Structure 1
Amino acid sequence: MHRGGRGFGHGGGFGRGFGGRHGHDDDGRGRRRRMFDGGELRLVLLKLIADEPRHGYDLIRRIEELTGGAYAPSPGVIYPTLTLLDDMGLIEAADSDGAKKLFAITAAGRVELEANQGAIEALIARLTEVGDERQRTDSASVRRAMGNLKAVLMNRLGDRDLEEATLHDIVALIDEAAQKIERL
């Protein structure tokens, strides 16, 4: 039922950095890598719709939840993919109370899910890993401490009577803290 391309379940991962360390989320040339390759987004959407019928924005929110807020696909990516899945006969519009179109999986969609179960499990695991990494590196206590440091620095550095020796002491303290954190 697939029309050309690399097909579902084929292709690479998210690329370097999504879920990686030290903020390297580019392709080595300073450009951000795409979160999904080939048919990966189609598989994720198909799985989420199989879990329960969903609207487009529900799918966006669910992916954002899985990644801990690190990634939310745009409507300009989601809706064309939903149209493609519908054209392929893998999902269909279901009865909906409101104006939003609710999508449900078809029998052909379930067959496609079964055929790509391993790839789908890997995709969901990677999305969850991105969320877990985000949770580890973006905790509220770290953000609070960074904000506190910034406020203290701005206040202290704004002092017109700040002596050069004090400024050097501040720089030394920041460098020392950075080195200690790096060694953790």
Structure 2
Amino acid sequence: MNDLECEPIIMHPNFMDAFRADPFDAYRFRAHRGPMGGDHPRGRHGHPGRGPGDRRMFGRGGRGDLARFFAHGDLRLVILHLIAEKPRHGYEIIKAIEERVGGAYSPSPGTVYPTLTLLEELGHVTVTPGEGTKRLHTITPEGQAVLDGNRPTLEAILARMAEAEAALGEGPPPSLVRAKEGLKLALQMRLARGPLSAEQTAAITAALEAATAAVEQA
């Protein structure tokens, strides 16, 4: 799969059950190498499927494992921390995490949005309508109490993220990685909405070809 091909967001059938049963373990389904070389999770009974998170790594490290940055329950704390800084919608959170690890890792919507749903159900964030279809997440007193109670753990996570950003300083600029991922996400989300007409296909193809030409000429 090249950088402009899009993967459908497919949730493992047991993921949300496991996620709700153990909210601190978003990564119950660990990755293994599939027959085509991709990362696939194994569920409770060892069956392969598409994982809840995107384990794609950028920069000098190439592909890697999500656990390199986020262990048991870490991502939930990071997302709460980012929302505590200011209210955010899901894509802002994805971009913020990517930027704070120097572009080395970009969580997929299939990881972030279920976490946001769980945080809302737990009463740790509230959700209000934002611009367009965006949903703005704001931390609650209960969510802040979770952060306060896990402050040493959060500080250690943020330190690891800062170390990753420093170590990958020679890699692609975060803004460039973010733009690439933004394009992929936009195309993926549009394709998920339904079939394209001939005119829409032509317009999107022309835009992608123009972007390719601009990059080649830069």
* Band the TM-score falls in, shorter-chain normalisation: 0.5 to 0.7
Q: Please give the alpha-carbon distance, in whole angstroms, between the structure 2 residues aligned to 1:50 and 1:109.
A: 9
Aligned to 2:7: none
Q: Conserved in 2, the CA contact under 8 Å of 1:46 and 1:105?
A: yes
3-state secondary structure, aligned to 1:94: strand
Deviations 1:28-50 (A, max 9, x none): xxxx3533222110000000000
Q: Which runs of 5+ in 2 are unaligned?
A: 1-19, 26-59, 174-218
Q: Tell me the matched-pair count.
A: 121
Correspondence 1:54-133 to 2 at 5 A: 54-133=88-167
3-state secondary structure, aligned to 1:78: helix
- RMSD over aligned Cα atoms: 2.8
Deviation at 1:125, TM superposition (A): 1.3
Deviation at 1:139, TM superposition (A): 7.2
* Structure having the higher Rg: 1
Deviations 1:143-167 (A, max 9, x none): xxxxxxxxxxxxxxxxxxxxxxxxx
Q: Please give the alpha-carbon distance, in whole angstroms, between the structure 2 residues aligned to 1:59 and 1:24.
A: 22
Q: Please give the alpha-carbon distance, in whole angstroms, between the structure 1 residues aligned to 2:137 and 2:100.
A: 20
C-alpha change, 1:115 and 1:131, in structure 2 (3 Å) is same
Q: Conserved in 1, the CA contact under 8 Å of 2:88 and 2:137?
A: yes
C-alpha change, 1:56 and 1:33, in structure 2 (3 Å) is closer
Look up the equivalent residue of 2:154 and give its one-letter code. Answer: I
3-state secondary structure, aligned to 1:102: strand
3-state secondary structure, aligned to 1:128: helix
Look up the equivalent residue of 2:120 and give its one-letter code. Answer: D
Percent identical across equivalent pairs? Answer: 42
3-state secondary structure, aligned to 1:68: coil
